[in-house]
Structure 1
Amino acid sequence: MKQLNFLIAALLLLISCKKSTEEPAPTPTTPAVPVMYFPPVSGTTWETTDPASLKWNTTELNNLYTYLVSKNTKAFIILKDGKLVAERYFGTFTADSIWYWASAGKTMTGMLVGIAQQEGLLNINNKTSQYLGNGWTSMPQAKEDLITVRNQLTMTTGLENNVPDDDCTLPSCLQYKADAGTRWFYHNAPYTLLDKVVENASGQTYNAYFQNKIRNRIGMNGLWIKNGYNNIYYSNTRSMARFGLLMLNKGKWDGTAILADTNYFNAQVNTSQNLNLSYGYLTWLNGKATHMLPATSHVFNGSFAPNAPADMYAALGKNDQKIYVVPSQRLVVIRMGESAGNVQLAVSSFDNELWGKLKAVIRY
């Protein structure tokens, strides 16, 4: 019996020693997130990524290019982690060609207003007349005083849009429709007057302030040019991609805060009022329960681009000028060109149609 007990004890000791020398099971690890790439501020260097290395469908990518040609596209770019995965120019359009942003430039204005606020030059909760003076509209003063800079950013000024020219910024064109904050309507005139708000608050021309605070700091080219009452940005396609990359990185460029106010940036890319859930500060938001469209006061169910990722936000302009930003996939997609179909302001059926094609290309 003593011998048996001894053998059992020795066996247990041997098993214990063996267990103690075994290697522990490896801890599961998540793949490292690639470092975000930023092209140099000067020069034409921009690193690329082969779409095949991302396991994207290159056959469908070629089909996408054919589709883009059929939709009057002049230029198209996809960035992943800041690097160029796709860059194509069609017809006589080249990387150096200049094109208009139309209302996609509104989102840049939205960011510039945030920069002016962080510098203490203005407060978006102040009434607009503090920066434009009394009588900038033809409304009774009490009604005019209800309009704030924030209302201009969110398309909730309450100004009458059913006028002969809703781009007109003269006081005679700016008439009372509803109290500010009670009605959403895509109205160019009060947006355009944000230029004057920034100029009067900063003491600089709009172009000068924009160049100093955004354009030159991230290596864009381009210029704001007056066209009638409107102020429209013109640049090459890569400049549009640079701004999209800035938006993807929440107002920061390669470690430098262009817009340091994170609260403002978050407000810009999230629902800004309860009337149109798909609108932030001059920025369109996908994935919301409802959306409204320019030129109508109707509320539509669902998001404006169901084929696109729900977290996408976008700068959208007339004739399908597009900057799509997808934080979850670290993507920026740019499209410049003539109208892809029906001439529409900002949001169009092309948004959802294009993302239907992109879904077949991009693996996410």
Structure 2
Amino acid sequence: MKKYHLITVISLAILLSSCKVGRFFVYNFAGIQDHKIFPNRTIEKGDSSFTFIEGIEKKPKSITQNDEKMEFDEFLKAQKSVAFMIIRNDSILYEKYFRTYDESSIVPSFSMAKSVTSILVGIAIDEGFIRSVDEPVTNYIPELKANGFDKVTLKHLLQMTSGLDYNEGYFNPFGDVATFYYGTKLRQEIPKMQLKHEPGEKFEYLSGNTQILGLVLERALNGTTISDYLQEKLWIPLGMEYDASWSTDHKENGIEKTFCCLNARARDFAKIGRLYLNKGNWNGKQIVSEEWVETSTKIDRTEGSERFYQYQWWLPSDNGDFMAQGILGQYIYVYPEKNLIIVRLGKKQGNTSWWSVLTSLGKAY
């Protein structure tokens, strides 16, 4: 009987592989190879590349985890890391890859893409495509008026205080995450979204907020894809070393999954950190306004916002540091006081608190 049920489930999964539920059962859970299963748009690098200086290696000799002292490389390997970089004053002090990965290996960003989406929103405001974070989202998605979104501003979406009714559970094949991650009709799903409480009351981390921002950005750009905008405004000006891609919900005229799924390399992710380390300035050119960077990375407890999150960036301590973060333990950590950038990419989160590890490394350097 059990064997029969197993065969039935597998058969249904295969038959339903074109829909979100089927794809959920086939792929089961977000994985480091997911950039291969989704359609995407290519983001091309420019003709010239910025490269960090190859500095003299400086790494911790060991690290203590659960009262066990481990050699640093072995610790990273044991925690399912695939890449780890420590950069200070534009010098690479440590760069190590694991599990057949190297500097040219593509790794999905997962939710680090939320921070990149925020940067693009900031640039769109600088350029006048979006007027203000205080605009109601219904200025760009009027279909949401019927669902009471007139009071929801772009700031609410950026701060995760919108009051959105969204199930962030990653193990539910019928939930909102499955719809957004595996689904193929995001533009149709967004206008169906509802609110469960008034905006501005409390923080709740929900990927739906960022995908709504993605549709706002797409409509504000009026014909330019989000990937093309990223290529023009960040990928080429920052001198990325490799092409990247952004996964979309479907092949023909799909929308970028802005809450996740920017696929790139460790060194290029580090350049996102360098841009914000330098307050939006890249070698003399202001890419995104200093005001946007400062607002995105400062502690603010007003209007339901939490001290540890602002404008799609995490704030792990009171020391002015901040980071982008993805579900499998993907991190771009920036500590301005030390002029420090750390990138950790992983196959899995591992059995550790990366917030503690990264902030401790920040203090140590």
Check the 8 A contact 1:196/1:206 in 2, yes or no: no
Equivalent of residue 340 in structure 1, options 346, 349, 361: 349
C-alpha separation in 2, matches of 1:162 and 1:242: 32
C-alpha separation in 2, matches of 1:363 and 1:185: 32
Distance 1:45 1:178, change over 3 A: closer
Task: Provide Cα deviations, 1:183-202, integer angstroms capped at 9, x if missing partner.
Answer: 21111112112122112112
1:126 corresponding residue in structure 2? 135
The answer to whether the aligner puts 1:351 opposite 2:360 as a matched pair is: no
Check the 8 A contact 2:82/2:101 in 1, yes or no: yes
Task: Provide Cα deviations, 1:311-346, integer angstroms capped at 9, x if missing partner.
Answer: 21010110100010000100000011111336xxxx
Distance 1:112 1:272, change over 3 A: farther
Equivalent of residue 270 in structure 1, options 290, 298, 312: 298
Aligned-pair identity in percent equals 27
**Length-normalised TM-score, structure 1:** 0.72
Give unmatched runs, 5+ long, in structure 1: 1-39, 289-309, 343-347
1:298 corresponding residue in structure 2? none
Check the 8 A contact 2:86/2:342 in 1, yes or no: yes
C-alpha separation in 1, matches of 2:59 and 2:103: 25
1:205 corresponding residue in structure 2? 225
Aligned length: 287
Matches within 5 A, 1:1-364: 42-43=48-49, 45-51=51-57, 56=58, 59-60=61-62, 63-122=71-130, 123-132=132-141, 134-136=142-144, 139=147, 143-162=148-167, 164-167=174-177, 168=180, 170-171=189-190, 173-203=192-222, 204-220=224-240, 221-226=243-248, 230-231=257-258, 232-259=261-288, 261-274=289-302, 275=304, 276-288=306-318, 310-341=319-350, 349-353=353-357, 355-356=359-360, 358=361, 363-364=364-365
C-alpha separation in 1, matches of 2:311 and 2:358: 24
C-alpha separation in 2, matches of 1:105 and 1:241: 13
C-alpha separation in 1, matches of 2:109 and 2:61: 30
Distance 1:271 1:166, change over 3 A: farther
Two-structure CA RMSD over aligned residues (Å):
2.5
Check the 8 A contact 2:280/2:293 in 1, yes or no: yes
* Structure with greater contact order relative to length (CA < 8 Å, sep ≥ 6): 2
Q: Which amino acid aligns with 1:212?
A: E
Q: CA deviation at 1:49?
A: 1.8
**Length-normalised TM-score, structure 2:** 0.72
Distance 1:320 1:194, change over 3 A: same
Q: CA deviation at 1:174?
A: 1.4
Larger radius of gyration: 1
Give unmatched runs, 5+ long, in structure 2: 1-45, 64-69, 169-173, 181-185, 251-255
